[in-house]
Amino acid sequence: MTNLHHLSAVELNKAFVQGDVTALQIAEYFLKRIENHNQQLGAFLSILGPRMILKAERLDLKRSQNKPLGKLAGVPVAIKDNMHIAGEITSCASKFLKNYRAPFDATAIRLLEQEDALITGKTNLDEFAMGSSNENSAYFNAHNPWDLECTPGGSSGGSAAAVAARLSLIGTGSDTGGSIRQPAGFCGIVGYKPTYGRVSRYGLVAFASSLDQIGPFATTVADVALTMEVIGRHCPHDSTSLDLPAESYSLNTTLADVKIGVPYRFLENLKPEARANFENNLHVLKSLGAKILNIDLDILKYSIAVYYILATAEASTNLARFDGIRYGIREKEAKTLDEIYEFSRKEGFGREVKKRIMLGTYVLSAGFQDAFYKKAQKVRTLVIDAFEAAFAECDAIAMPVAPSGAFPLQSINDPLEMYLQDIFTIPANLAGLPAISVPSGFDSRQMPLGLQLVGPQLCDVPLIQYAHAFEQATQFTRKIPPLFKGSAS
């Protein structure tokens, strides 16, 4: 078979199971694409070629012996480099962890490999998942496949770029404030943040533990649904993992009698192109039978402030373990214990990570904890209450993914302007809600735009069904960036 990268994960899995292509052919094909394109794209920090080839050979033997094959048999999957793969480097795109080799598999990785996925490599990200543009990677920038001068989004920009360019058909990301949905929107693919606790965080290097959630990138909603059936399982090693049975994601193509809420007042500052695209999306939803309601979510205007208090506070606590003794690099010239801490962190952490650690330490310090951290927690509760009131009226909420399409690299130097890129995605993390980004068209620069749908807690299945209906009506997920349409060679 030629042009394997034009297939969805579901289609490629079917081709492998039917014997139309071998796993070894799949592995060699996608490794060739990575070899040819990764230098210009910057999507992968490391490529696990020998591991992938060995897995493919075992998978071909398994098929030849008529043994049961996994749901992701033969499907290449890229892993964000803040998730552990036993025996491989987990760098978090930081110099601090450039020598850290994971001693165990993350639960999500174990589940993927149990279902016969082919792990392609570890993808680029903002250092310790802190950023919205992938410009905070300690190694090199990732680039947007639709325009290499633009950001792929962050922090999971490497996975999004890899999937959008079809160097892998599925990717994993972590979403703390939009780090799956925003890159998916910028790169014209599907990105999904599950209900908090639906996917285990065991083996994910923590940024902000009450906000982080692992989720998939894919080229179609059906591929996201397939991946969620694999990784959406309880894990006894994770105290935040929901003890619920795995779900089956059947897909619908209608939205008859579905009520979609729109927080119009919260969207008043949308840029004209993004607003026009969003209004078109609402017309599509209506044409599928949905009823559009105006809902009150004005409290969300405080979500950026709340998020950057809570996230930095949790980050300062989580990153305290990186001291040059238990983890990461150790500064050889240090003569005292304090100097080991100071010198290792000074050399190992990048500017954005240091800034967030300092902010988090400040809001947790004596005299400021009540004024900032505790007040932010109270406002977070109000955000959760506002969503509960909204979902009493509607089945899902529609918002844009970002204020605009992908912006050029190095074009945003104001930290606040950069933080505002996540204004529409952060609220779902504060409330622990499932949310999905689906391609919804292009702006005048021919850069992708995305529609975001947010659902009530534990309503992952219906939310993905709504997204599938929208996808089938628009067909934007089948579009491939022109630079990466060609074959592996």
- Model pLDDT for residues 405-448, shown as the tens digit of each residue: 999 999 999 998 999 999 999 999 999 999 999 999 999 999 99
Given 3-state DSSP classes, what are the helix, strand and coil percentages for the chain, each rounded to the nearest 5? 45, 15, 45
Structure tokens at 296: 């009150």
> How many CA atoms lie less than 13 Å away from 309 in the CB half-sphere?
22
Alpha-carbon distance of 451 to 441, in angstroms, equals 9
pLDDT tens, position by position, 471-488: 999 999 889 999 998 865
The answer to whether position 358 is within a domain reads no
CATH number (domain holding residue 246):
3.90.1300.10
* Contact present, 189 and 164 (Cβ < 8 Å): yes
Of 132, 133, 179, 344, the catalytic one is 179
- The parts of the chain modelled with pLDDT lower than 50 are 489
Residue 154 maps to a domain: yes
> Is 111 a domain residue?
yes
| CB-CB contact of 234 with 244 (8 Å) | yes
Is 442 inside any structural domain? Answer: yes
> Is there a domain that residue 151 lies in?
yes
CA distances in angstroms from 374 to 44, 82, 309, 369, 380, listed in the order given: 39, 29, 10, 6, 10
Q: Give the span between the Cα atoms of 464 and 198, in whole angstroms.
A: 14
Q: What is the pLDDT of residue 488?
A: 55
Q: What is the DSSP letter of 283?
A: H
Number of domains present in the structure of the chain: 1
Catalytic site residue from 80, 200, 303, 404: 80
Q: Residue 321 belongs to what H/E stretch? A: none
Structure-block tokens of residue 129: 């998942």
Degrees to nearest 5, angle at CA 408 with 403 and 412: 70
Domain interval for residue 122? 4-259+392-484
Q: Are 183 and 159 in contact (CB under 8 A)?
A: yes
Token pair belonging to 226 = 């397939």
The beta strands (E) that lie in 91-156 are given as 118-123
- Catalytic residue (one of 8, 91, 155, 437): 155
Residue 413 tokens, joined: 């130097």
**Is residue 276 helix, strand or coil?**
helix
Could you tell me if 111 and 216 are in contact, meaning their C-beta atoms sit under 8 angstroms apart? no
Nearest-angstrom CA–CA distance, 174 and 125 = 10
> Which pLDDT score, from 0 to 100, does residue 480 have?
95
Residues 6+ apart with CB under 8 A from 302: 379, 383
155 has catalytic annotation: yes
pLDDT in tens, 41-66: 999 999 999 999 999 999 999 999 99
Q: Is residue 445 part of a domain?
A: yes
344-367: buried (b, 16+ CB within 10 Å) or exposed (e) per residue? bbeebbbebbeebbebbbbbbeee
> Within a domain: residue 343?
no
Residues 6+ away with beta carbon under 8 Å from 153: 132, 133, 134, 144, 160, 182, 183, 184, 185, 186, 187, 402, 406
Asked if residue 303 is part of any domain, the answer here is no
In the numeric block, the tokens 């694409």 are attached to 33
Q: Which pLDDT belongs to residue 332?
A: 72
Q: What is the dihedral of CA 310, 313, 319, 320, to 10 degrees?
A: -150
Cβ-proximal residues to 288 (8 Å cutoff; 6+ apart), any chain = 253, 254, 255, 256, 469, 470, 473
| 241 part of the active site | no
Count the neighbouring beta carbons within 10 Å of the beta carbon of residue 58.
12
